[in-house]
Each structure stands twice: as C-alpha cells, then as structure tokens.
C-alpha cells in the first residue's frame, strides 16, 4: 500500500492533470466563439456560421466533461485533505462556492440558448448569450485562481485556535482575495488557454489542408480550414510573444514572493550569482536527471540569465540556494525539468507564430510543407505546456499546501488509511483516464467529420431577418 499522504497527492495530481485539459479548451475557445458569433450576425457569411457551429461542439463537450471532473476535485478536499479543509475552509471555501453560484450558473444558463437557440431568439439576445457563456467561463477561472493564488501567497488572515486545532481565520477579504499572486496567475493562465486553443486550431486546419493540397485528398470545405488557420495564426502572433514577456515578469514575482520555489526552478542549492538560465537542457546520465544541479548536462544557457530574471536586469545578482531554507526542498528535478520544458515550448510557439505569419505575408502559408507538419506536431503542445506549468506551480510549492502556514502532509485527512488512499487512487486513475480517452475519441470524430454544410438562405428569409431580427436557420438542421 502507498502511504496516505503520498497516495492523496498522487490522486489529486492525476485528477488535476486530466481535468485542466477541459477548462483550457473551454476558456480558450470562449473568445473565438464570441468573435464567430459577432461576425455571423454582422456579416451573414455562411463560413462564420460554420465556424461557430463547429467549434461550439468541441466547447460543449469540453464544458460537460470539465464540469464532471471539476466537481470531483472539490470533493477530494474533504475526502483526502480534510485537515486542510477544516483549517482553511473559511478562506478557501468562499471562492469555490462563489464560482459555483456565480460563474457556473451564468455559463450553464446561457449555454442552452447559445447551443440550441439560434433559430428561436433574435440577434441581440443570441449575442448576449455568447458573451455570457464566455464571461461565465472566464469568471470560473477568477474564483478558482483566487483560491489557488491565496495558497501561494496567503494574505488577509490570522491563525486562531478553536477546540485545540489551528484555524486560518479570514480578517481582510480584500487582502486575501486580491493577493499579489492572483493577477499574475490569471493573466498567464487565460493567455495560455487562448494560445493552446489557437495551436490546436492551427494544427487541425493544417492537417486537413495538407491532405487536400499535398496528398490531393478530397476535403470538404477547404475554405473553412483556410479561414480557421489564418485566424489561429493571427491569435498566435499576439498570444505567443505576450506569454513569453509576461512569463519573464511572472518569474521575477515568484523569485520575490517564493524564493524557495525559484531556487528549485533553477536547481540552485548554494547561494550564488551569475546563475545561467538553461533554455534547453538535456541530462547526460541518470544522476543528472534526478540531480540537475550536478551540471553534467548538455544545454543551451544564457550566462547570468537566471540571476537577471530574478533581479530584473542584474546578471550578477545572487539567488538564494535551497540549502539556506529551514524546510525541506521541493522535488527539485521535477520542478527544474518541467520549467525547462515550459520555457522551451514558449520560445518555440513564438518561432512558430512568426514563421507562419511570415509565410502568410509572402503568400506561401499553404505551400510550406515543413510549416504544415510543424503546426500539426504542435497542435497539443500548448496543453502540454499548461500541464508542465502547473507542475512547476504546485510541486514547486512543496512541502507547503499553504505557503509558510501549513505543510501538505499536515493537511491530509487524519483517518485515511493507506489501503483506502491507494484504492481510490487506482479507481480515479481508471475513471479519469477513461473519460480522457472518451473525450479524445469524441473530439477526433468531430474534427474528422469537419464543418457542417451551410446552404445560403432564400431571399424571403433575409427579409424576415431584417424585419424581425431573427437569426438565420441553418440548412444543416440538427447539427447544433
């Protein structure tokens, strides 16, 4: 049997890693759907109706599976981390409750109108439903990240003792919920979601177009995929460089507020200056994989880069080593390599975005075989970058569940046995991986089927639209 604390951490890590895929897809798709809906209403061009209807299917399935897997995550706080929930429930439970009452209900209420109401409501109400769904999706992230960011940089609380047990009592809601980590996490996460979806769109579109133009494989609606690819490239050109620039500033904030985590990100054991920033690092033996600070690695590094990142411009600045902290170090190898992968992917996304933009400017966007293959290979890398980013965030905080206040081992449910924790770990792994496989299969079927066919409305239908404000009735019938 696995020890209860370790099994609980593994279970929560597994369920989070699977769950985060679905919010990333829904949050990333939200602004695209608002744009497609606005263009559909404003121009009446069939291609925007196709874009809206096609990507709404993937949004809807992502929302449903994300809701199911997210609810279970909240229950895990009570089943596996009851001591943490008891101690921090007053502070931690509030944002989660508001997320359900405000954001989820807003999104769920208007999602029905957005999916099924295009033929039944006017343009104004339908546009409102699209904005409300997107707003609800992004508001969910607000409250979830408020709770998580407070665990990273706790503020607005005091420790009191009730019935012999330490309780985290909320004394300043504004300081707690507007803690210094929240804006950094929120901007980075939301931009990452949009970037990830843009990569997915570009990869899927490149796949269909590559088959059509290079393999001469008949593809329905090639103009749909061309439009999808161009929209995705525009978004990539905006979001990819911003993610790198924001990540640089975010890293400096981490160095100031969680120096132990930053030291783990750079694998610095002894306090020193001129610490290099390895953009790409490859272990040369097994010892270097588990102890990257052995420095027997092959990598491309920027001399003094880590010191420059931590200080905001001084390559000679000292980074406090892990040996200087009283608490045990986080799992350094996991944090170090995850951070390397996240940073390396961030620069790759920038290169890919400007590569595609340059080819588009030259009129060669659909002719560059290597670019098309690179877009296809990178279609899921945005989601992977989000995963390793969260590993850095959560594993780098260890051994704390609330930074400087409560250790993770102290937050585990006191009555939980190793057998119970192991059993639920195995069960959750089977269920969540099964859901992920089913979700992947459904999305694959949607992508393979392609966009719905749209037949332009008859002239009399256009008159009805002008007089009543009612939306167009899709010829595809039941596709929505």
Bridge partners, residue 144, by sequence: none
pLDDT tens digits for range 4-21: 899 999 999 999 999 999
pLDDT at 2: 87
Question: Which of 48-52, 275-279, 472-476 shows the lowest mean pLDDT across its residues?
Answer: 472-476
Give CA–CA dist 351/125, Å, rounded.
40
Q: Does residue 235 have a pLDDT over 70?
A: yes
Question: Which of 166-170, 180-184, 356-360 shows the lowest mean pLDDT across its residues?
Answer: 166-170
Q: Does residue 292 have a pLDDT over 90?
A: no
With respect to residue 301, please indicate whether it lies within any of the assigned structural domains: no
pLDDT category of residue 313 using cuts at 50, 70 and 90: confident
- For residues 163 and 22, the model is more confident at 22
111 and 32 part of one domain: yes
pLDDT category of residue 214 using cuts at 50, 70 and 90: low
Q: Does residue 409 have a pLDDT over 50?
A: yes
Structural domain that includes position 237: 183-267+323-414
Domain end among 414, 431, 461: 414
With respect to residue 309, please indicate whether it lies within any of the assigned structural domains: no
Whether residue 121 contacts residue 471, with contact meaning beta carbons closer than 8 Å, is answered with yes
pLDDT tens digits for range 322-340: 999 988 989 988 999 999 8
Tell me how long the chain is.
Answer: 480
Average pLDDT over residues 182-203: 97
Tokens 């359900």 found at? 100
Q: Does residue 46 have a pLDDT over 80?
A: yes
Average pLDDT over residues 415-430: 92
Give CA–CA dist 371/355, Å, rounded.
8
Domains of the chain: total:
2
Cβ contacts of 470 within 8 Å, gap of 6 or more: 119, 121, 122, 123, 464
pLDDT at 463: 30
With respect to residue 370, please indicate whether it lies within any of the assigned structural domains: yes
398 and 422 part of one domain: no
Distance of CA 230 to the CA centre of its chain: 23
348 and 237 part of one domain: yes
Which residue from 32, 28, 165, 175 is spatially nearest to 91, judged by alpha carbons? 175
With respect to residue 59, please indicate whether it lies within any of the assigned structural domains: yes
pLDDT tens digits for range 118-140: 888 899 999 999 999 999 999 99
90 and 211 part of one domain: no
Average pLDDT over residues 70-89: 88
pLDDT category of residue 296 using cuts at 50, 70 and 90: low
pLDDT category of residue 456 using cuts at 50, 70 and 90: low
Q: Does residue 260 have a pLDDT over 50?
A: yes
Angle at 253 between CA 251 and CA 254, to 5 degrees: 65
Which tokens belong to 352? 């890919």
Give CA–CA dist 250/312, Å, rounded.
11
pLDDT category of residue 102 using cuts at 50, 70 and 90: confident
109 and 139 part of one domain: yes
pLDDT at 99: 78
456 and 397 part of one domain: no
With respect to residue 351, please indicate whether it lies within any of the assigned structural domains: yes
With respect to residue 173, please indicate whether it lies within any of the assigned structural domains: no
Whether residue 169 contacts residue 158, with contact meaning beta carbons closer than 8 Å, is answered with yes
pLDDT tens digits for range 358-383: 999 999 998 889 999 999 999 999 99
Average pLDDT over residues 45-49: 93
With respect to residue 191, please indicate whether it lies within any of the assigned structural domains: yes
Under DSSP, the state recorded for 163 is: T
Domain end among 374, 389, 414: 414
pLDDT category of residue 479 using cuts at 50, 70 and 90: very low
Q: Cβ-count burial of 432 within 10 angstroms (0-12 exposed, 13-18 middle, 19+ buried)?
A: buried
Whether residue 271 contacts residue 318, with contact meaning beta carbons closer than 8 Å, is answered with yes
Treating both helix axes as pointing N-terminal to C-terminal, what angle do 123-152 and 82-98 enclose, rounded to 10 degrees? Answer: 150
Whether residue 474 contacts residue 480, with contact meaning beta carbons closer than 8 Å, is answered with yes
225 and 335 part of one domain: yes
403 and 439 part of one domain: no
With respect to residue 60, please indicate whether it lies within any of the assigned structural domains: yes
328 and 476 part of one domain: no
247 and 379 part of one domain: yes
23 and 64 part of one domain: yes
Average pLDDT over residues 9-35: 95
Entry pTM: 0.90
28 and 133 part of one domain: yes
Domain end among 356, 389, 414: 414
Mean pLDDT of the chain: 87
Percent of all residues in the chain with a pLDDT value above 90, rounded to a whole number: 60
Which residue from 191, 202, 239, 190 is spatially nearest to 379, judged by alpha carbons? 202
* Torsions phi, psi for 279 (to 5 deg): -70, -45
Residue 299's SS3 state is strand
pLDDT at 280: 75
Whether residue 365 contacts residue 354, with contact meaning beta carbons closer than 8 Å, is answered with no
pLDDT category of residue 348 using cuts at 50, 70 and 90: very high
- For residues 100 and 442, the model is more confident at 442
């Amino acid at each position: 049997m696995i020890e209860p604390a370790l099994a609980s951490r593994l279970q929560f890590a597994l369920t989070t890693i699977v769950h985060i895929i679905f919010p990333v897809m829904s949050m990333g798709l939200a602004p695209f759907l608002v744009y497609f809906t606005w263009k559909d209403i404003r121009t009446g061009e069939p291609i925007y109706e196709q874009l809206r209807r096609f990507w709404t299917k993937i949004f809807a399935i992502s929302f449903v599976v994300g809701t199911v897997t997210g609810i279970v995550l909240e229950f895990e706080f009570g089943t596996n981390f009851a001591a943490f929930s008891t101690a921090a429930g007053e502070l931690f439970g509030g944002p989660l409750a508001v997320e359900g009452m405000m954001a989820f209900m807003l999104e769920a209420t208007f999602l029905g109108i957005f999916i099924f109401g295009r033929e039944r409501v006017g343009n104004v109400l339908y546009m409102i439903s699209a904005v409300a769904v997107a707003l609800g999706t992004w508001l969910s992230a607000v409250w979830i990240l408020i709770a998580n960011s407070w665990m990273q940089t706790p503020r607005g609380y005091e420790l009191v003792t009730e019935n012999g047990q330490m309780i985290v009592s909320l004394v300043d809601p504004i300081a707690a919920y507007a803690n210094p980590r929240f804006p950094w996490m929120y901007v980075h996460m939301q931009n990452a979601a949009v970037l990830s979806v843009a990569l997915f769109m570009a990869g899927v579109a490149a796949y269909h177009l590559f088959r059509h133009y290079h393999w001469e494989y008949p593809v329905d609606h090639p103009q749909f995929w061309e439009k999808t690819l161009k929209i995705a490239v525009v978004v990539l050109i905006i979001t990819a460089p911003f993610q790198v620039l924001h990540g640089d500033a975010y890293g400096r904030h981490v160095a100031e507020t969680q120096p132990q985590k930053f030291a783990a990100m750079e694998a610095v054991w002894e306090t020193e200056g001129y610490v290099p920033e390895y953009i790409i690092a490859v272990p040369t033996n097994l010892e270097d994989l588990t102890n990257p600070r052995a420095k027997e690695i092959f990598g491309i590094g920027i001399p003094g880069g880590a010191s420059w990142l931590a200080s905001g411009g001084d390559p000679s600045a000292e980074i406090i080593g892990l040996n200087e902290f009283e608490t045990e170090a986080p799992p350094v190898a996991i944090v170090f390599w995850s951070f390397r992968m996240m940073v390396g992917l961030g620069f790759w996304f920038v290169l890919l975005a400007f590569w595609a933009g340059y080819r588009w400017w030259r009129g060669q966007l659909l002719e560059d075989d290597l670019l098309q293959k690179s877009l296809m290979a990178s279609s899921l890398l945005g989601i992977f970058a989000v995963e390793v980013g969260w590993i850095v965030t959560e594993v780098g905080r260890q051994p704390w569940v609330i930074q400087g206040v409560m250790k993770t081992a102290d937050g585990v449910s006191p009555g939980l046995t190793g057998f119970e924790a192991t059993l639920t770990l195995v069960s959750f792994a089977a269920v969540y991986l099964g859901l992920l496989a089913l979700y992947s299969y459904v999305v694959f079927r949607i992508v393979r089927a392609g966009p719905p066919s749209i037949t332009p409305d008859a002239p009399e239908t256009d008159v009805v639209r002008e007089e009543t404000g009612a939306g167009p009735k899709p010829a595809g019938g039941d596709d929505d």
